[in-house]
Structure 1
Amino acid sequence: MLYSFLEMSRAAMLPWRAAANMTRASLRSPLNPASETLAGRATAAAADLFESLTRYYGKPDWELSPVLVNDQPVDIDIETVWSKPFCSLLHFKRDRKALAKARGIKVSELKDRPVLIVAPMSGHHATLLRGTVEAFLPDHEVYITDWVDARKVSVAEGRFDLDDYVLYVREMITALGTNPHVVAVCQPGPPTLAAIALMAEDEDPARPSSMTFMGSPIDARKSPTVPNKLAEERPYEWFRDNLIQTVPAVYPGAMRRVYPGFLQLTGFINMNFERHVDAHWNFFQHMVAGDGDSADRHRDFYDEYLSVMDLTEEFYLQTIEDVFQKHKLALGEMTVEGRPVRPDAITDVALLTVEGENDDISGIGQTQAAHTLCSNLPDGLRLDHIQPGVGHYGVFNGRRFREEIAPKMKAFMAEHHVQRS
């Protein structure tokens, strides 16, 4: 009922949003004398703020600019190289001729290392990792998992749970066939480690060259944060009975049971409520003052932040139970379709863990736990990095990621690249 009520509320707001847009356009017209008055600017700013707070935010575009290689622009084309109902694998294909020219080499000499970024399936779209992708584009072949919003997947496509996630990741690694360097950001840490453990146990020649886990709840018992504590304090039944909704008929996934993105977003906002209120108040003031650059930066951030996706009921609830309540991977009890997951089977896939000093989502030690689980991995194939002064988002995006974390990751990948198949 809550989901349907939200959709009816959005529909009811359409006339008001139209009026706000008309007011904003009128008061910002150079032909309107009021546009240069304080009252006119304040009213236009209020209309703009109202519109942004009541808008439906769809999936953002990637909007990638040409990557600069030796100060020469190289165009990017996004292509789908693998697809299933709940995920597509995207390749950020660079113009090879322009890339070779920028490097002063022949096209046949281009042999950049492949990087598979496993994006979170935790409420936001893969575009949240735009900065992560951009950091690797100049010198790597970059791929990313583009998880599909559950409300857009017909119930005829069946279920999708945590086991399916693991199998999807394994299939995508295998589809690349190039022993890629796998980077799991936040939520996909446990299922990605599970997928690689299965590949290692099978001696799969397609297993990756390296695996990097960034701010991941490999063992959520370490330095528990507010989300970790909430998951443990509430019984499984509370999540099932209070957070699962039915997709309304207006979407392709009508009647699918999901954990709605708007509930996930509400939880994130409540964690830092005052900060978001201040940000919108500053947005209003910037528009009144005519500070378009600051207002545009606010819009860019919130266009991404407020765009959310639904998760299937079975995936969300299994993640809550297995990862955050029973800690199955950390305790050696995780299975995939009944098969035990054994991280100690990994002996030749290099391991890098990255954590943020101020991470309030995955506390210090949660990601490092991967080193303990991969007990048969030689010391020469391990590296742990704690980035000072960054929170969860700063682990994979922002200035310190670009200048300090990404170079360390690239050096690690260069040192441990192999070709098995």
Structure 2
Amino acid sequence: MLYQLYETQRALMEPFAEYAHATSKMLSNPLWPVSQTTAVQRASAGFDLLYRLGKDYEKPAFNINTITAGDHDIAVHERVELTKPFCELRRFKRFSDDPATLTAMKGQPAVLIVAPLSGHYATLLRETVRTMLEGHKVYITDWTNARLVPQSSGEFHLDDYVNYVQDFIRHIQEIYGACHVVSVCQPTVPVLAAVSLMASRGEQTPLSMTMMGGPIDARRSPTAVNNLATTHDIQWFENNVIYPVPANFPGAGRKVYPGFLQHMGFVSMNPDRHAMSHYDYFKDLLKGDEESAEHHRQFYDEYNAVLDMDAAYYLETLKTVFQDFALVKGTWQVRSPEGVAELVRPQDIQYTALLTVEGELDDISGSGQTQAAHDLCTGLKGSGNRHFEVKGAGHYGIFSGKRWRNMVYPVLKDFILAHSELPAKARTVKSTVSKQSNLQTV
């Protein structure tokens, strides 16, 4: 019922938001004689802010059409390479008419970026992708809004997430012979599980895995996110935050954790900060500071665009990661597409270098939660593994903004480059599991 009420309210608000937008444009039209008066400027800014607060935020586009590497502009073509009911594997293919640049790009390592499935779209990592395209072949998991997936496609479980990641890794390794994996926030746990299971089976694993700001061991330095999960049982979450998708969507009837509830949770963590940000936007409009105003729009176009998560996946993640701590306790079993339950054993990983990254001021994944991966991957010996704490960075600062570009990316780039050769002992490892039949090329 709550989801239906929200949709009704959104539908009712939409014409008012559009009216506010049109009014703001009309009042700020320079051809109107009084548009430069203080009263009209304030009214225009007010209507613009009302529009921003009331509009519906749809899934953003990556919009990465060109990048610059060295002295050359490189064209980027985004395409869906593989598709599954709940996820698309996107590739950002680069093109250049400069022979030297083209040769250099062909020799660069392939990287799978596993984006979070925790409320926002994969486009939240747009800057991560753009930066990494300067020196890597880049793929990313683009998770589908569960309300758009018909019930005939079945439920989506945490096990499915792990199996998807394995399929994507195998696909990239089949093309290039090897790959690297970067996981940001929530996917650090299923990515570690995926690589662990591949290692336990004797499959070739990625050359490196980078885990950034994720809850590998959510018992360490618990945050407000962790506390919410541990102060209520699964039944409470199922009764209070799970709702069926309304009839006006393809996934009508599917039980989901709605994106708008997740968004409310995001905002409630720092309500004063968001209120001040909107007030600053209002002042920027009055001052005519279009650059700052556009920065605000771009941020909230991304931040306010949220997706629904299948209820099975959401509840299983809560229980497995934040309540049972099954990964760190060694009790997590993942069911394969064939229905076989396999124990997740990070200690079986031997040939995948590990880099963990944490933000000093991260209020979502607390200090030490990601670093805990090193304690689990006991089969990885030697100086090649590394932990990096980003001074002054919050959660978003480790994958976007100046700290990402100037502090994190150089470390990540050097780490991947240092581990781009398949270890001699691993060269005999052959994939023993074929790609699943439900892997479909687009």
Give the shorter-chain TM-score range: over 0.9
User: Match of 1:158, as an amino acid?
Assistant: G
Match runs of 1:219-258 below 5 Å? 219-258=217-256
Matched residues in 1 for 2:314 and 2:395: separation? 21
| Pair 1:369-2:372 in alignment | yes
Deviations 1:135-155 (A, max 9, x none): 111111011000101011001
Match among 144, 150, 169 for residue 148 of structure 1: 144
| Pair 1:193-2:189 in alignment | no
Shift of 1:96: 4.3
User: Match of 2:274, as an amino acid?
Assistant: H
Shift of 1:73: 0.6
2:14–2:56: 8 Å Cα contact kept in structure 1?
no
Match runs of 1:55-70 below 5 Å? 55-70=55-70
Q: What SS does the aligned partner of 1:281 have?
A: helix
Shift of 1:65: 4.4
Deviations 1:139-173 (A, max 9, x none): 11011000101011001100101000000000000
Matched residues in 1 for 2:16 and 2:127: separation? 35
Partner in structure 2 of residue 297 of structure 1: 295
Deviates more, 1:325-334 or 1:230-239: 230-239
Match among 108, 113, 130 for residue 112 of structure 1: 108
TM superposition score normalised by structure 1:
0.96
Partner in structure 1 of residue 133 of structure 2: 137
- Gaps in structure 1 of 5+ consecutive residues: none
Match among 361, 382, 397 for residue 358 of structure 1: 361
Partner in structure 2 of residue 341 of structure 1: 344
Shift of 1:346: 0.4
| Pair 1:41-2:41 in alignment | yes
Q: What SS does the aligned partner of 2:408 have?
A: helix
Match among 279, 282, 285 for residue 284 of structure 1: 282
Deviates more, 1:29-38 or 1:210-219: 29-38
2:18–2:55: 8 Å Cα contact kept in structure 1?
no
1:247–1:253: 8 Å Cα contact kept in structure 2?
yes
Matched residues in 1 for 2:354 and 2:19: separation? 55
Q: What SS does the aligned partner of 2:216 have?
A: coil
Shift of 1:382: 1.2
Matched residues in 2 for 1:14 and 1:200: separation? 51
Shift of 1:244: 0.4
Partner in structure 2 of residue 403 of structure 1: 406
Matched residues in 2 for 1:213 and 1:285: separation? 39
Matched residues in 2 for 1:73 and 1:96: separation? 8
Matched residues in 2 for 1:319 and 1:96: separation? 42
Match runs of 1:154-173 below 5 Å? 154-173=150-169
Q: What SS does the aligned partner of 2:44 have?
A: helix
User: Match of 1:345, as an amino acid?
Assistant: D
Q: What SS does the aligned partner of 2:357 have?
A: strand
Match among 417, 420, 425 for residue 417 of structure 1: 420
User: Match of 1:198, as an amino acid?
Assistant: L
2:398–2:404: 8 Å Cα contact kept in structure 1?
yes
2:357–2:398: 8 Å Cα contact kept in structure 1?
yes
TM superposition score normalised by structure 2:
0.92
User: Match of 1:311, as an amino acid?
Assistant: M
Shift of 1:289: 1.9
Deviates more, 1:335-344 or 1:26-35: 26-35
Matched residues in 2 for 1:200 and 1:384: separation? 22
Matched residues in 2 for 1:127 and 1:70: separation? 25
Number of residue-to-residue matches in the alignment: 416
Q: CA RMSD in A?
A: 1.3
Q: What SS does the aligned partner of 2:326 have?
A: coil
Q: What SS does the aligned partner of 1:217 have?
A: coil
1:354–1:387: 8 Å Cα contact kept in structure 2?
yes
Shift of 1:231: 0.6
Distance 1:62 1:235, change over 3 A: same
Matched residues in 1 for 2:60 and 2:33: separation? 36
Matched residues in 2 for 1:285 and 1:386: separation? 35
> Percent sequence identity over matched residues?
46
Deviations 1:325-384 (A, max 9, x none): 000001001110121111111011101100111100011110011111111111233111
Shift of 1:47: 0.8
